[in-house]
Structure 1
Amino acid sequence: AVNRYKLLKKDARTVAAQQVARLESAMCLRRRWSPENFQLFLVEHPLVRHLTHRLIWGVYSAENQLLACFRVAEDNSYSTADDDLFTLPEGDISIGIPHVLEISPTDAAAFGQLFADYELLPPFRQLDRNSYALTEAERNASELTRWTGRKCPSGRVMGLANKGWIKGTPQDAGWIGWMINPLGRWSLIMEIDEGFAVGMSPAELSAEQLLSKLWLWEGKAESYGWGSNSTQEAQFSVLDAITASELINDIEALFE
């Protein structure tokens, strides 16, 4: 019985970590839920509901514009930043996790104080999330050079897989020399040197990877490879502010 309990605790921790990663991804990718699905699959879900209490939620219009922010209280009711009861507006709306770039400074300050008063610790960085912007020159370019030639730990490059990045297609002898961030019809290509091979253990990896090139490709991630038309470059101006901020956040974290 003791061993079974330990296994259940371990499984619960694993599931919780997976749910945190899923919710953070939902914020970055701007996933939306209908009010009914939000209530059923998040607020009332036995393994997720405790996470809903520690995040700020947003009501979005049919045009995906943020209309209002709210939190889920301990009794699963909705409340405002002033801790007043909040009722979802009627009409064609959806629920999502607003990114810090969407939240007004007034709401951010008010909810931040409310979370501090209730001693609520968010499962991931939301209000205090690092936010970045491309320069005008970078927006009009297809390559970001601010990190070119810098080295970072190999483990952090591999860890990008936990943030939605995928490994490049294996080449001769199973060698992989790039990571890809799928961005819909575009893909962010990060070329690295030394690279790594399929099946390599952490001990076999070189200690560091050199970031040799970071550029935007006009094509889906699964289509990219040495045999693809690698001249289909796209300017970073095609990306919205949140997507640009998150990709910079991912790269900056490699060098922290």
Structure 2
Amino acid sequence: MEALEFAAIGAAGIAAGGINAVVGSGTLITFPTLLALGYPAVVANVSNNIGLVPGALSAVHGYRRELKGQRNRLIRWGAGSFLGGLTGALLLLALPDKTFDAVVPVLIIIACVLLLLQPRLNRWMKERQSSGRRQDGGVPMWCGVLGTGVYGGYFGAAQGVLLMGLFGSFLQDDLQRLNAAKNVLSAIVNGVAAVVFIAVADVDWAVAGVIAAGSILGGALGARVGRRLSPTVLRGVIITVGVTAAILMTVR
């Protein structure tokens, strides 16, 4: 790996780690970078996924204060993320890339619309439901987390946008707490997919190592910046990145 190539991948890893902590679309930086440098698509996707796992864990640690009181629902959601991530990783190895390419941009746009309407949805749901409303979203939420996990294990770009849109439609909670939960679920999906890829896929370990180092730094920095953003600003960042992701994946 040449010095300029090393620097480019490292910088992409830092940016991706920071964006994943705040939003969850870091793959849209690292994956195109690897393609531009000439890496095969599947090798780039697999190596990128493995490299971003340490950054995801760094983001989880950075949001540890916001995770307090969420243990029970994260255990339930985590099971869905684990199963979804495993399924998505296996699909990546079995199906052509075009299978999800036509569907994913639509899913991202729907997620952005849900997130944009989150305050209104929360008010409407609060008026219609009793004060004993479940804080984990029940079965519909679990199924949504499972589906998002399948997508995340397959490709992963904008997985966080989908999760935040899902949270916005089913839950009534502080956006920073939901962002912390998003980081945990994304880490589970990426982690289980990484195990599958390590076991059976072709991995470029030099690329994965450089991205890992950059994503750890980016994840820590992103967690600090993300916590200081107001809910309105954070929502705007998520929607902007989500729309950009949909456009990039459409023209890719």
- Short-chain TM bin: under 0.3
Q: TM-score, normalised by structure 2?
A: 0.23
Higher relative contact order (CA 8 A, sep 6+): 2
> In proportion to residue count, which structure has more strand?
1
> In proportion to residue count, which structure has more helix?
2
Larger Rg: 1
